[in-house]
Structure 1
Amino acid sequence: MALGPVAQIHVSVRDIDRSVAFYRDVLGIPLLFQVPGQPMAFFASGDVRLYLGVPESAEFASRCTLYFRVDDIDAEHARLTAAGVESFGPPHVVHRDGATELWMSFFTDPDGHKIGLMQER
């Protein structure tokens, strides 16, 4: 038996309300729901659900880099920079093959997780 596709990714946060505001209002990822009385929120990122939560113990704490496809990396980089999101520099080519170029740019969320933007041109 083989594993199916990734269904959910946990992202550890310290302040759920601050993180919900960042992922929903700044990044623009649709919020599915917040769990009442629990430091948990779930977002729809295509077919993958992002689970933001305050870990119950150190064994479940995560540190990750999330990569998001964008249609226009230059415009999205400018939008996030204007919103005050910490950037690690402008979009740049990370790979070329005969037909396409892969462009990336990186930011940081409120908990120090890296957010990568990627566009194939």
Structure 2
Amino acid sequence: MQTNLIQKVGQIGIPVKNLEKAIHFYKEQLGLPLLFQTSNMAFFDCNGLRLMLSLPEKEQFAHASSVVYFQVEDIQTAFEELSNKDVTFIDEPHLVAKMGQTETWMTFFKDTEDNTHALVSEVQGVTV
């Protein structure tokens, strides 16, 4: 029997060029708690998952990050509240999948470093 060595994602690193601007975005606009920061990194808590914003150590690491999917309960409310905080959305909340009685909705946005991230919501018991 094979044991899973990897249990969960504990931290996601997001490369940034302007740390102070990025800290403001993730703290003030997205509302994530800032755990601590150093001169070239900042750590946020996202319900137990740690996001690390960091200035790249070398130019080869200075590229856009992977897409981080932030789960929300009510995607339309989250979309409206974050839009009111000047978060730049690429699209509006839209249905991406329906499995049985569960609908998965997403909307994508940009952070201050032009990284693309998403809000995702799974809605149960949906009837059309």
TM over 0.5: yes
Rg bigger for which structure?
A: 2
> Residue type matched to 1:42 in 2?
F
Displacement after TM superposition at 1:119 (Å):
0.6
**For each residue in 1:56-115, what CA deviation from the matched residue of structure 2 results, as whole angstroms up to 9, or x when unmatched?**
103433522111011111011111112222111210000001120000011100001112
1:1-121 pair list within 5 angstroms: 2-35=5-38, 38-62=39-63, 63-121=65-123
Identity of aligned residues (%): 37
Give, in whole Å, the separation in 2 of the partners of 1:11 and 1:76: 22
5+ residue gaps, structure 2: 124-128
5+ residue gaps, structure 1: none
Query: Which segments of structure 1 move beyond 4 Å, counting only runs of 4 or more?
Result: none
Give, in whole Å, the separation in 1 of the partners of 2:35 and 2:86: 25
Displacement after TM superposition at 1:45 (Å):
1.1
Give, in whole Å, the separation in 2 of the partners of 1:88 and 1:59: 27
SS state of the match for residue 111, structure 1? coil
Give, in whole Å, the separation in 2 of the partners of 1:9 and 1:41: 12
| TM-score, with structure 2 as normaliser | 0.87
| TM-score, with structure 1 as normaliser | 0.91
For the aligned residue pairs, the C-alpha RMSD in angstroms reads 1.3
